[in-house]
Amino acid sequence: MEFLKSPPPPIRRLELEDPAAARRVAPPAHPANGNGSSAPGGFTGARRSIGAPQFSIRRMEIDDVSVSYSNRDAVKDVSLPVRQGEVLSLIGPSGCGKTTLLRSLNRLTELTSTAKLSGRILLDDVDITLIEPTLLRRRVTMVFQQPNPFPMSVFDNIAYVLREQGSRRQRKKTLEPAVHSALDRAGLFEEVKDNLDHPALKLSGGQQQRLCIARALAAEPEVLLLDEPCSALDPQSTQVIEDLIVKLRDDVAVVIVTHNLQQAYRIADHVAFMYLGDLVEYNSATALFGSPREKRTQEYVSGAFG
């Protein structure tokens, strides 16, 4: 019973000087931070001056695709076109199947043993299940949510793709132009040209993600898949990458999954809204954000849920 003799000291309570301050919510400092604004009116402002697409060619066709993980449906009967010259954005609350749909475009879902896919996905009118996965993944490359540069030098990260595609080990000199041009297309070359031999993991988060994009571009893909590429990045890096994505849309068909409605609004030409595995609405970005047809879309873009 010694604790009775020496009672524990009283707990000191922290007093808030202004109780209301705790409840006050700071306004988003930068539009990239906001996850949906208070009203659809938030999207009526001008889109970034990227201009309308110059052209658009249909490259991929998602036809009635369903994906399930051990009998749990993640994607249900989705049909969508993917066009070169445009940016297609998949939006929706987390767990709505948008990432799964993206992964099925280059057959990465096959790496999960429980995943089952039905329906057809066509790349240039060829069913992708008929294409060798490794060849398909060179034509349809992917950038992930978490920047995942390999634990090698910056140069080797890009050269890795080229070396593994060739049948013989190439010398560093012969790979240099290709590596430089990939870094250049990702807008990273100027920043890293003096330290190509530095470890890639020492780069900043935004640079790492652009390195991953450069790596994906080095494979000379036809379709580029981006899975929430900016969600781990600060606003500044986000803006750099968004500019880059828009710049790329003429060379490759771009599909981007994003959680960030402002981002979708800024860069996408077409937007697909998914909810619980269903494709709820597919429309041009201005139409979907400005005058959504479906009630669920309207609620989502106005920030009612998600």
Smallest distance, another protein to C-beta of residue 274, A: 12
Least Å distance, CB 304 to another protein, is: 8
Contact in structure between 60 and 253 (CB atoms under 8 Å): yes
Residue 295: CB minimum distance to another protein, A: 7
DSSP secondary structure letters along 91-160: E-STTSSHHHHHHHHTTGGGGSTTEEEEEEEEETTEEGGGS-HHHHHHHEEEE-SS----SSBHHHHHHH
Cβ of residue 162: shortest distance to another protein, in angstroms? 10
* Cβ proximity to another protein, 201 vs 287, nearer residue: 201
Tokens 């793709």 map to which residue? Answer: 161
Cβ-Cβ contacts under 8 Å for 224 (sequence gap 6 or more): 140, 141, 142, 143, 213, 216, 217, 248, 252, 253, 254, 255
Residue 306 CB, nearest distance to another protein (Å)? 9
| Alpha carbon distance 251, 219 (integer Å) | 13
In b/e form, how buried is each residue of 156-171, taking b as 16+ CB within 10 angstroms?
bbbbebbeeeeeeeee
Least distance CB 107 / another protein (angstroms):
8
**CB nearer to another protein: pick between 31 and 205:** 205
Return the number of the residue (107 or 270) whose C-beta is nearest another protein: 107
Q: Closest CB to another protein among 151 and 177? A: 151
Strands (E), the chain: 57-69, 72-84, 87-91, 115-123, 126-127, 140-143, 223-227, 253-257, 270-275, 278-284
Distance (Å) of CA 25 to CA 20, 41, 274: 10, 20, 29
Least gap, CB of 287 to another protein (angstroms)? 20
Nearer to another protein, 69 or 189 (CB): 69
CB atoms < 10 A from the CB of 194, how many?
A: 8
Q: How many CB atoms sit inside 10 A of residue 221's CB?
A: 19
Q: Which residues bind another protein (CB under 8 A)?
A: 2-3, 6, 8, 69, 72, 74, 76, 93-97, 99-100, 106, 108, 110-113, 132-139, 141-142, 144-146, 148-153, 160-161, 164-165, 167, 199-202, 212, 215-216, 219, 227-228, 275-278, 295-296, 299-300, 304-305
Nearer to another protein, 28 or 95 (CB): 95
Cβ-based nearer residue to another protein, 227 or 242: 227
CB of 54 to another protein, least distance (A): 28
Distance CA 250, CA 227 (A): 19
Counting every residue written for the chain, the total comes to 306
Query: Which residue number, 72 or 171, has a Cβ lying nearer to another protein?
Result: 72
